[in-house]
Structure 1
Amino acid sequence: MRLWATRTVLAMALVAGVALAPAPAGGGRGGRVSTGFERRGGTVWTTVAEERDYLRDLVAAAPGPERAGWGAARVTVTRVGTSARGRAVDLITVAGTRSVPEPVRVLFVCGQHGDEPAGREACLKLVRDLAADRSPAGRRLLERVTVLVLATPNPDGSAAGTRATAEGVDLNRDHVAVGSPEARAIRRVLREARPHIVHDLHEFTVPADTAAPPALYLWPRNLNVAPELRSLSIELARDRIGTALPAAGWAAGVYGEDGTARQLGGDGDERLLRNAAALDHAVAVLVEVGTRPVSALERADPGLLGRRRVAAHLVAAQATLRMAAERGDAITAAVRTSRERAERGGEVVYFDGADNVPAGRGAVGPMPCAYRLTPDLYASARAALAEHGVRVQPDLRVPTAQPAGVMAALLLDPRARFAVAMATTEPCAGTSAPHADAL
């Protein structure tokens, strides 16, 4: 029997605040604010309607430190978009009433795939627990860290229990073209809130005979990611989350190196959120929790299985918050350095490959100084360029010396895998435009 199978019950007991029995119902005034998942002991996930009521009660219960029983936190809920079927995409913010000059902004994206509900449940619980924490450690955390949560970025998929959006879009493959309203909502948060850390929560299912641990993690593998951001992302994934999960009782491994038959989504694909967020100058991490029972007890008790999946995500989220609080200066400095380097313009751009797979022939070359668009090409690319904050000059010249310069290349270069328009490259002075066969 695997180690993590024998330690499941112990791990559940060690995770603070994770109910092992149904939680009592409660409202915003004096009672415990609880999710539908908690009230049912983990046997049924929180519905979209229950989430709406939960957030309403949470905001009413925790407007600030003046409410007895709650911590020194402000909780706000802001609509940042709507789904294809008109459901709200809400951003939850938990912030201290006092903060350092530049708090680390941590964004949790909790359910891009609607059939992966444990991350969403973990995020809903995390928000409440942070808001209610009156301990000195909790107050210090929220002085240093602002927590941003997209609990349900794919509300149609969550309501239907489907991976894709109502339009059939895999949201975690739409962070370049940003064609779906749900991807545009996430992009709006990235563009306007500028999180320093992006933590993406998912679940995975593999055959019973596959030797995959019950939790996996990964950093951005795209070769265009700034080295200082990649280094901190690896520290977060491997040293922090990869240590916290085993300490809580679950083995953990690197996604794509987990014994599965094929690597799925563990590469440098810029459409994936962990890569796209890092290209937008953030430390980023992916956490996947297994949905398959790891013990006879979990096979017999769906509630125990559900609570374990949520608990594992909570352990990983708490590890991210600890690193944000302890390594804030290094994180904000790395983000600032990455943006400043992009403003000066890159030397090389990669259109393929990953940090564990060399770029193929023709997939790497000098970064052009700019791209030239025709009116027709601009019309086709305008929406995506705007979503990524790419600056376009009045003459339709797109300089690459800007924070979104790499994304401009990935959107417009003829060599890019997922380009939305094939623009003309403008080489820098003293260089010539590279021919694909020569790269």
Structure 2
Amino acid sequence: MPPRVRPFVVGVVAVAVTLPLVTAPARATADVPRTGFETSHGAHWTSAPDEQRFLAAVDRSSDRMEVRRIGSTARGRPLQLVRIGAHRGTDVILLVCGQHGNEPAPREACLLTIRALARDESRATRALLAHITVLVIPTANPDGRAADTRTNSEGTDINRDHLALRSAEAGALAAVIRDRHPDVIYDMHEYDATVPSYDDDLMTLWPRNPNTPAAVHREARLLSDAYVRPAAAAAGFGSGHYGIWTDQVTGHALRQVAGDGEERILRNMAGIKNAVGLLVESRADPIGDTEKAHPVFGYRRRVATQLAALKGVWGYAERRRGQLEAATRAARAAGLEGRGPIYLGGADNDPATPAQTLADPPCGYRLTTAQYTAVRARLDLHGITVHRTTGGAFVTLRQPERALVPLLLDARAGYPLTAGRPSVDCLRPGAR
């Protein structure tokens, strides 16, 4: 089977990718750090030691990159954050790679993207990084990656832990979001197709949680459908919406099998925290007889799909930076005003019921000392403002992540940390 040639862009660096071989950047020489995936010509995924050597080598070769440890897994493996580009004061794009340890292609794409953005000297790349800081968590689930499991070593699905933050991995990511306030949170995964109604090369989905601010929701849909999916299409990859089976003749939706508004999922938590979130899933199962007989062909396609989709992120950042900044800043300010309903359930395509709607939310929630002690660390990881009181603590809704507070503390929410007491007495935070 002759290789197919699909040109696309890593960051803003033109790269020719010949499938089934993923090549290095055009300026590659012997001193360019290579991933284990590259040195094996796509036959093997990059090992944890190879990842550490690769990141250290890229860091040494670039004056615009920083790698730091942001935590440790239960097995002691490092959780790392890579920063590329400008410092504080710029828009921030966060790439989260491989929350599920048995989905390795996103991690490989992220490592290649780190190298491209850190080392490219073109005017276009420098212009992009003058206004955008790119943060990358290259391996969001190191224990799961080592074991080739969806969950971490404690059996936790990290992508169902972004509310409770019981895992070290979700907690470390929450702290990054709290401290850096990313404008875009791009969450990279893989999925298994259901032929013929659900089998595109790439699937995307925005935050469906109804607490996502309207302008943020609009930007997330634009990122998906006007940038990421067209970028994949330009490279020859088909795309669709995650969780929606479609009729192959009419293109109409048949049914929704995943992708609701649940607040524990990262793309939804991104919207609740006023960021433009996007879930991206490349197809993991083999396509055709060649990939079934020779898995390496599929490995290379999966990484190439993720890299092609990333081109859309950089195009979006270049063209809609002003609208992105306006949407996320306005959303954070609106939380401080404390107006409007809050939804304890539902989705953008499944309206919340009256029982799931706080039409007139309380001004805050009161916690006993015991309750506050139990949830204090996780409230802090979320960046929730808390006022200490003589009887425990008062958590006001007048804060940027206003909608998150009831999801954490209202007994009627789907997954509350504790059942706080709703309060209408906002003038006296210390009242019993």
Q: Considering the TM-score relative to the shorter chain, is it more than 0.5?
A: yes
Distance 1:13 1:405, change over 3 A: closer
One-letter amino acid of the counterpart of residue 115, structure 1: N
Aligned to 1:398: 395
Aligned partner (choices 89, 96, 112) of residue 125 of structure 1: 112
Q: CA deviation at 1:11?
A: 5.5
How many angstroms does 1:250 deviate by?
A: 1.2
Residue pairs, 1:279-294, within 5 angstroms:
279-294=272-287
- The match for 2:376 is 382
**Equivalent residue, structure 2, for 1:59:** 59
Aligned residue identity for 1:202 = H
- Matched letter for residue 190 of structure 1: I
Secondary structure, counterpart of 1:244 in structure 2: helix
Q: Does 1:357 align with 2:355?
A: no
Residue 325 of structure 1: SS of its match in structure 2? helix
User: Partner residue of 1:229?
Assistant: 216
Residue by residue over 1:207-255, the C-alpha shift from the partner in whole angstroms, topping out at 9 and shown as x without a partner, is 4455421210000000001001000000001111121111211110111
Structure 2 residue 173 is the aligned partner of structure 1 residue 179:
no
Q: How many residues align?
A: 407
Deviation per CA, 1:277-302, whole angstroms, max 9, x where unpaired? 12111111010011122233333332
Deviation at 1:347, TM superposition (A): 2.0
- Identical aligned pairs, as a percentage? 37
Equivalent runs, 1:90-109 vs 2, <5 Å: 90-96=80-86, 102-109=89-96
Q: Who is 2:124 aligned against?
A: 137
Q: Which runs of structure 2 are paired with 1:261-300 in the superposition (5 Å)?
A: 263=256, 265-300=258-293
Letter of the aligned partner of 2:349 in structure 1?
N
Q: Distance in 1 between matches of 2:58 and 2:183?
A: 26
Residue identity matched to 1:268? G
Q: Does 1:86 align with 2:79?
A: no
CA RMSD of aligned residues (A): 2.3
**Residue 360 (structure 2) pairs with residue 373 (structure 1):** no
Measured against aligned partners, the alpha-carbon deviations of 1:36-74 in whole angstroms (never above 9, x if no partner) come to 001111111001111001001111122x2xxxxxxxxx0
- Please state if 1:193 is matched with 2:190: no
Normalised to the residue count of structure 1, the TM-score between the two structures is: 0.88
Q: 1:41 to 1:327 in 2, by over 3 A?
A: same
Work out which of the residue numbers 4, 16, 24 in structure 2 matches 1:10. Answer: 4
Task: For residue 14 of structure 1, report the CA deviation from its aligned partner.
Answer: 5.2
Which runs of structure 1 show a deviation greater than 6 angstroms over 4 or more consecutive aligned residues?
A: none
Structure 1's 398 and 14: CA in aligned 2 closer, same or farther, altered over 3 A?
A: closer
Aligned to 2:415: 418
Report how far residue 136 of structure 1 moved.
1.6
- Of 248, 251, 254, the residue aligned with 2:241 is 254
Aligned-partner Cα distance in 2 for 1:351–1:228 = 20
CA distance in 1, matches of 2:254, 2:323: 37
- One-letter identity of the residue aligned with 2:42: G
Asked if the contact 1:342/1:401 (under 8 Å) is kept, the reply is yes
Does structure 1 retain, via aligned residues, the 8 Å contact 2:245–2:257? no
Tell me what 1:146 maps to. Answer: 133
Contact 1:82 1:88 in 2 (8 A): yes
State how far apart, in whole Å, the 1-side matches of 2:180 and 2:207 are: 20
Secondary structure in 1 matching 2:186: strand
| 2:355 aligned counterpart, secondary structure | coil
Query: 2:258 & 2:159 partners in 1: Cα distance?
Result: 9
State the Cα distance separating 1:76 from its structure 2 match.
Answer: 0.7
Q: Which residue, 197, 203, 210 being the options, matches 1:216?
A: 203
**Letter matched to residue 164 of structure 1:** T
